[in-house]
Amino acid sequence: MSRVGHVIFLSLQVEVHFRGEERVVRGKPTLVTNDPASVIPNSDVIVFAVPAFAHGGYLRAMEPHIQAKSDRAPGGRVIIGAMPGEGGFDMQVLKIFGKEKFESVSLFALETLPWAVRLTDYGKSVEILGTKKDVDIAVSPSSEAETVTDVVQKLMYQPQPVLELIPCLLAVTLMNINQVMQISSFVQLIEKKIMHCSTERNEFSSTVKDCVSLLSYWKVESVFLPY
């Protein structure tokens, strides 16, 4: 969103393939743009599918264009959500939007992405490797929980994942174990490097596997391992 302008793709078609299945879902975006002023004022539901570190930039770009109320949006409130929604998403919105505008919108956060997806042809097609059976969702304010959950469930297009409502957005931030497990694993690796100890890849992988075993004992299910 660094440059203002927009491009309309009238003939662009995006395909979604499902691994192990013959079905293909096709869609045609109406607009692809880097100009928030051309889309945000007319948007009823806004979904972030980017890492938490990128939330702030998008929120700052769209904040001037957020409508306090929407006659079209469910409950008259614009819905803004993130998947995944870790990193204190609601606190970022409050800081950037200010109290009045923050209280005029509905927020949701998913504890993980609904699907494992890989690009097969940039801007044209993706492959869904797997679909989560259920995903936790938190909504603010709580009075809009049922309405927002119903809207987001419909956006999933298919029966799964089933969205399960949890009490608050803080729970989504705190349940992310990556920020604990991965950092501690890397600290251990760095310590061994500093001490000039030989650390083989399989030894580090073994450490990660031990962490996963412990997390399984604690019934922690959402773990991302890029190894």
**114-155, pLDDT tens digit by residue?**
998 999 998 889 999 999 999 999 999 999 999 999 999 998
Give the type of residue at 123: G
Contacting residues for 145 by C-beta, under 8 A, at least 6 apart: 139, 165
Query: Quick one: pLDDT band at residue 210, thresholds 50, 70, 90?
Result: low
DSSP letter (8 states) at residue 209: H
- For the ranges 33-42, 69-78, 107-116, the lowest mean pLDDT is seen at 69-78
Across the range 178-187, mean pLDDT stands at: 62
pLDDT at 108 over 70: yes
**Alpha helix ranges (H) inside 3-105:** 55-62, 89-97, 99-102
For residue 10, the model assigns a pLDDT of: 57
Q: Which is nearest to 16 in space by CA: 140, 124, 173?
A: 124
* 137 vs 226: which has the higher pLDDT: 137
Phi-psi category of residue 6: left, alpha or beta, with phi > 0 → left and psi -120 to 50 → alpha: beta
Q: Which one, of 82, 81, 80, lies nearest residue 51 by Cα?
A: 82
What is the pLDDT at residue 209?
Answer: 57
Q: What are phi and psi of 160, to 5 degrees?
A: -115, 150
Query: Who wins on pLDDT, 180 or 110?
Result: 110
Q: Summarize pLDDT for 15-35 with one digit per residue, the tens.
A: 999 999 998 999 888 888 889
Mean pLDDT of 54-73: 86
Reported as a pLDDT band with limits 50, 70 and 90, residue 187 is: low
The answer to whether residue 218 scores a pLDDT higher than 50 is: no
DSSP conformational letter for 62: H
> Is 152:41 a contact under the CB 8 Å cutoff?
no
125 by DSSP, 3-state: which?
strand
Which of 224 and 46 is assigned the larger pLDDT?
46
pTM: 0.74
Please tell me the least confidently modeled range out of 18-27, 172-181, 203-212. Answer: 203-212
